[in-house]
Amino acid sequence: MHSSFVITPALKHELQTLFKLEQCLFGEHCYPDFFFRQAYDCWPDGLLVARNELQQIMGYVLVAPAQSAHEHSAWILSLAVAPEHQRKGVAHGLLLHALEHFSHIQSLCLTVHPHNPALALYQKLGFIEVEHEDDYFGENEPRIKMQYRP
């Protein structure tokens, strides 16, 4: 926990706020509003928000567990910090919280655009590049797949 914000599970009445933040930051690649309701029901422990002392949402992270025959892993499906709260350690705090909360799994994966400034944060926290795909979200939509192993 950082001194200027607290990280807790999202509350149902906050889902529309999370969607609006997602939409603001990711535009056409944002998750639809109903997805946040489903995420709230399916992965309540993985939908975490950072709130300031006024209880305003500064950002959120969405982590979804995944299990295959070979590995128990999780995916960071979204990490978003409101523009006015960026560069204040919110994303770092959310990621550290997620890494601690999911420390029992074998790996934590995510995708990131090669030019996203968050790439440096992921690398700093120990995520490594495992794959690059030029058309991950369609033509000319490259993403780097990264993985963290506790």
d(CA 89, CA 97): 12
Mean pLDDT score across all residues of the chain: 92
Angle at the Cα of 36 from the Cα atoms of 51 and 137, rounded to 5 degrees: 110
Q: State the pLDDT at residue 1.
A: 44
Specify whether the CB–CB gap between 10 and 41 falls below 8 A. Answer: no
Specify whether the CB–CB gap between 75 and 131 falls below 8 A. Answer: no
pTM: 0.90
Q: Which of 76, 60, 63, 86 is nearest to 6 (CA)?
A: 60
Structure tokens at 34: 């109903």
Q: State the pLDDT at residue 69.
A: 63
pLDDT above 50 (res 10): yes
Q: Which of 49, 45, 17 is nearest to 33 (CA)?
A: 17
Mean pLDDT over 139-149 rounds to 93
Model pLDDT for residues 28-87, shown as the tens digit of each residue:
889 999 999 999 999 999 999 999 999 999 999 999 988 766 678 899 999 999 999 999
d(CA 11, CA 107): 27
pLDDT classification of 19: cutoffs 50, 70, 90: very high
Specify whether the CB–CB gap between 18 and 36 falls below 8 A. Answer: yes
CATH topology of domain 6-148: Aminopeptidase (3.40.630)
User: What is the bridge-based pairing of β-strands 72-81 and 107-112?
Assistant: parallel
Mean pLDDT over 10-27 rounds to 96
Q: What residue ranges do the domains of the chain occupy?
A: 6-148
